[in-house]
Amino acid sequence: AQKVTQAQTEISVVEKEDVTLDCVYETRDTTYYLFWYKQPPSGELVFLIRRNSFDEQNEISGRYSWNFQKSTSSFNFTITASQVVDSAVYFCALNTNAGKSTFGDGTTLTVKP
Amino acid sequence: SQTIHQWPATLVQPVGSPLSLECTVEGTSNPNLYWYRQAAGRGLQLLFYSVGIGQISSEVPQNLSASRPQDRQFILSSKKLLLSDSGFYLCAWSQVVRGGRVSYEQYFGPGTRLTVT
């Protein structure tokens, strides 16, 4: 069975602080994909990044960076110099089955001005 | 480019009334399609997914049903709504990786806020 754990239910930071959102996954499959999604207050989920199980390279996109470590089954997401617009619910997800993905319960990030 | 449409955006329905939510995808073929429900302040609950026309998998027992009459159309229905059916309903699509074992990221529609009164 697959499982995604986002232990941080809520995080609150002040603007310009760095913040890391944790994601730990469980699967017995050797081929899988990991994802991060952002859900702003408007409600629509937005895809941020995909990582496959064979690529452990970390990735940076502007203020966003992702750290994928198979040894610890983690796929953490860091926002550098956070901004108020980063306030949202962030979901980590795992796909090992063509039919469906397993989502974490989400982390609510609040960035205060 | 691909787009996904959902309607209506908001809906207020009395208990016991029927429901029909529609989702259509443009710009892709043979997508996987999904229906999720999100209660206020909660995570995503997968309700149904479909890997092809007429192929529906149900994830939770409930009074909802889904149908896929066309490749890019996915419908969520109920004959009689319950108060517990209130929530934010999201439709999504994804492509299957060649070989078919896993799928890529999901792209979500704007959602429907359903309030059952």
Q: DSSP labels for A61-75? A: ETTEEEEEEGGGTEE
Q: What is the structure's pLDDT at B59?
A: 86
In angstroms, the CA A23 to CA A6 distance is 5
Instruction: Note whether A43 contacts B111, CB cutoff 8 Å.
Output: yes
Of A51, A44, A41, A36, residue with least CA distance to A90: A36
Give residues with Cβ within 8 angstroms of B54, minimum separation 6: B68, B69
Q: What is the mean pLDDT of residues A52-63?
A: 88
- In this complex, do A99 and B57 lie within 8 Å of one another by their Cβ atoms? yes
Distance from CA of A103 to the nearest CA of B (A): 7
Listed as ranges, residues in chain B with pLDDT below 70 are 61
Do A104 and B106 touch, CB atoms closer than 8 A?
no
Q: What pLDDT is attached to residue A88? A: 97
What number is the average pLDDT over the span A54-72? Answer: 91
- B76 Cβ contact partners less than 8 Å away, ≥ 6 residues apart: B19, B20, B21, B22, B23, B35, B47, B48, B64, B65, B66, B89, B91
- B44 touching A (Cβ < 8 Å): yes
Q: How confident is the model at residue A57 (pLDDT cuts 50, 70, 90)?
A: confident
The dihedral region occupied by A85, where left means phi > 0, alpha psi between -120 and 50, and beta the remainder, is alpha
The answer to whether residue A60 scores a pLDDT higher than 90 is: no
Measured between CA atoms, the residue of chain A closest to residue B56 is A99
Return the half-sphere exposure (C-beta side, CA atoms, 13 A cut-off) of residue A45.
28
Query: pLDDT tier at A40 (50, 70, 90 boundaries)?
Result: very high
Mean predicted confidence (pLDDT) in A61-75: 95
Best of A35, A49, A95, A102 to disrupt the B interface by mutation (most B CBs within 10 Å)?
A95
Q: Tell me the nearest-neighbour CA distance from B117 into chain A, angstroms.
A: 22
CA dist., res. A82 & res. B65, Å (int): 41
Q: Mean pLDDT highest for which of A20-29, A94-103, B31-40?
A: A20-29
